[in-house]
Copies of this chain bind each other. A is one copy, B any other.
Amino acid sequence: MKLKDDKKIVQIFQAALKLVAKKGLSGVTMGDISREAGIATGTLYVYFKGKDELINALFAACRENSVQVSFKGYNPQLPFKPGFKNIWLNILRYKLQHFEEVIFMEQCYHSPFITAGTREKAQQLSAPFYALMERGQKEQLIKQTDTGLLLIFMLGAMNELVKQTHYSGITLNRSRINSTFDLCWDALKA
């Protein structure tokens, strides 16, 4: 009995991400994915029931991964602002290093592939972000505006930053990253 290879799933996911970032969700076929992953088309169907399942699985994996990485090194005992910056940097770094995931997630949101269930689960993973904002409000450090609004503002700006960085070839050196954090902090701070 040979076992399904986890490494191969990673290969498939990476192939799909690369292709979607390059050509968009609508431009990517199962044939493209298998070729890019270096396996036969039929093999895709050993790992996933079909295209839908593949896309949903990838979507869920990306989401889980990104949330998990965001809070790496966060210690609620320490003061708010450095902790917040830590998370902000985690997110930005993640998005920069996983640009393809950013694009993939964006393209998926309005696709017929992602099921309500998958979407739901993704949403639930946002809870820690809300909690973070509430802490900042409790400590009177950030504005008493709806936390959803604050998060949208912060994450939307970051997303666009990452995308435009890629297109326009701006390099995000440390100084530019700090400038951007300052924009964000000035926006949110009480």
- A contact set with B: CB distance below 8 Å: 20-27, 103, 106-113, 143, 145-146, 148-150, 152-161, 163-164, 168, 170, 176, 179-180, 182-184, 186-189
Contact = CB atoms under 8 A, between A and B. Distances in A.
A26 B150 CA distance: 31
Contact of A27 (B24, B111, B145, B150): B111
Contact of A156 (B25, B113, B146, B159): B159
Given A103-B110, A157-B153, A183 B176 contact: no
A187 B188 CA distance: 8
Indicate how many identical chains form the complex. Answer: 2
B160 A156 contact: yes
Main secondary structure of the interface of A (DSSP, over half): helix
Given A24-B26, A25-B26, A146-B176, A164 B152 contact: yes
A74 to B, nearest CB: 23
A145 B108 CA distance: 33
